[in-house]
Amino acid sequence: MERPMLRDPREIQAMDFGTGSWVVVALAFSMFSAVLALVAYWRSGGQADIDSVRRKNQVVLDELSRRTRRGLEETLARVTRAQQRLAELREEAASSMHEPIDSLARQLSDIKRDAELALAKLKTEVTSGAQAAQEGLAKRVRHIEGSIRILMARAEIRAAERLADAGDFVEAEDLLEDAVAKVREGKMRLADEGGEEPAFEPVIETLHDAIRSVRARAVDHKNQIDNVLSASDYLLASLRSREHALG
């Protein structure tokens, strides 16, 4: 009976080593293939996806920049118109009204400066913060526009008082009606920005009382108009508090 042939231990070791080497080579080849596949994906569809995302982001940024710029430009235009109205009011207003008019003028100057700075910054970067700043400036301008309507109404009330004292009740009544319209307009503007302002109601109520008094040629028309002026002074003070909170 033949005895089994015994292998040399060094031969067996060499065979084991050869099997392990092939496993390592296979793993390395698999990893290399995976890397090649990722590179191929990036060069084809993957890169296309990245470029698509970048294009979409740029479209969003361009639209944000356009809207913010348009809003800032509109704010600057409204500031200019409001400054012109205040200058006209100051020429005709009594000296006691110069301080509130000048206060609004200073606020408009601040808004103009901030809007111009925001426009300059928009040339280099576009952020959601820029849009929020633009919306805040626009809100402040609309609030000041509401206050200007109250100042214009107050000027008409003063003129109506002088006309009624001179016996021109028809013209006085017309001016008081115009004043009511301006106060209501101011109320609507400010309601859109920060909710209802209770101080509007006494002004409107006393205005209607004054109109009835002037229409009836009543001797107490002056007292009624004085009540309107007092209520409007209180309203203006309340609006100034709101404006400082916004600024």
Smallest Cα–Cα separation from 237: which of 210, 209, 198?
198
Q: Is 197 part of any domain?
A: yes
CA dihedral over 180, 184, 189, 193, signed as positive or negative:
positive
**Domain span including residue 240:** 61-246
Q: Is 172 part of any domain?
A: yes
Q: Is 165 part of any domain?
A: yes
Spatial distance between the Cα atoms of 140 and 143, rounded to a whole number of angstroms: 5
Q: Is 66 part of any domain?
A: yes
Tell me what pLDDT residue 243 has. 66
Report the number of distinct structural domains present in the chain.
1
Asked whether 161 and 94 are in contact (CB, 8 A), the reply is: no
pLDDT in tens, 90-105: 998 888 889 889 999 9
Q: Is 6 part of any domain?
A: no
Residue-by-residue pLDDT tens, the chain, 247 positions: 444 444 444 444 444 444 445 444 444 555 656 666 666 655 555 555 555 656 666 666 677 788 888 999 999 999 999 999 999 999 988 888 898 899 999 999 999 999 999 988 888 777 767 888 898 999 899 889 988 999 999 999 999 989 998 989 999 999 999 999 999 888 887 776 656 678 888 888 988 899 988 888 877 788 888 888 888 888 888 877 776 666 5
